[in-house]
Structure 1
């Protein structure tokens, strides 16, 4: 699936729809340069999961935990220098739980990502305007077929 969005609100909308459709145990991997909207998309997912806490990027904590319709784990592995660091916090226990896990900068720890996961890449489209982004959603495993229902 591919979406072109031209505002933070539309990015949040895509995320919210993913959150509403998410299932226990979903692993959602976000990839994109700084400033592309990964955290905004995550905020939308959290809203769709009925998380009422303010969502911030866990850049210095590696993971933030939230409660909503489902437990929600938000990882930011930008500052992880070695995959062993993320394993040391019990990464497997998080992502193989009945929670929804969103991992920003997932490409930094590819070897730790389960085979079945959703990958969302976000790219700036400066040729269209400052706020334009292309959101590309791919996945492995039938569990993520629900993304076909997303509309903006």
Structure 2
């Protein structure tokens, strides 16, 4: 596990760029944290660096949004799901095992069905200083690549 301190939007965008530098088809990014912590903002920056032209918004009510003009990019908000069965009703395997990138907000609600190679990012927000503390964990090639990207980035060195 690695922990990062995100001081501003530039740092959040730098993290997104690091994620997209590691992008390979089938990548799953899981974002958790309180309301307003920055999950959708991080997703927007990821989309920006993947050249997704549509404006990315939280799919709270549609649950899954598909952006497929330039590549397969799927964005899910699992907040309203009761459990993993609800995700299966949405044919979640189609997104998990796609040739694209799948970003899931509120992934803790369905974590039991997500692949072992998923990258988990938990964002906590400190209202006093407007900074975000991120903990990132995972295993496999996507996670190892992201660790290398972050370790080589001056913004995230202690």
TM over 0.5, yes or no? yes
1:83-98 aligned at under 5 Å gives the runs: 83-98=84-99
Q: Extract unaligned runs of 5+ from structure 2.
A: none
Residue 135 of structure 2 aligns to a residue in which SS? Answer: strand
Q: Which residue of 2 aligns with 1:149?
A: 149
Equivalences, count: 150
Residues 20, 49 of structure 1: alpha-carbon distance in 2 compared, 3 angstrom cutoff: farther
1:123 aligns to what?
Answer: 124
Equivalent residue number for residue 10 of structure 2: 9
Shift of 1:145: 1.5
- Partners of 2:110 and 2:86 lie apart in 1 by 10
State the distance in 2 between where 1:40 and 1:149 align. Answer: 20
Q: Which runs of 5+ in 1 are unaligned?
A: none
After TM superposition, where is structure 1 displaced by more than 4 Å over at least 4 residues in a row?
Answer: none
Residue pairs, 1:75-86, within 5 angstroms: 75-86=76-87
- Secondary structure at the counterpart of residue 80 of structure 2: coil
Residue in 2 that maps onto 1:61: 62
Return the TM-score normalized by structure 2: 0.87
> In terms of mean alpha carbon deviation, does 63-72 or 76-85 score higher?
63-72
> What is the RMSD computed on CA atoms of the aligned residues?
1.6
Q: Which residue of 1 aligns with 2:30?
A: 29
8 Å CA contact retained: 1:17, 1:45: no
The answer to whether the 8 A contact 1:30-1:105 is kept is yes
Note the C-alpha offset of 1:115.
Answer: 1.4
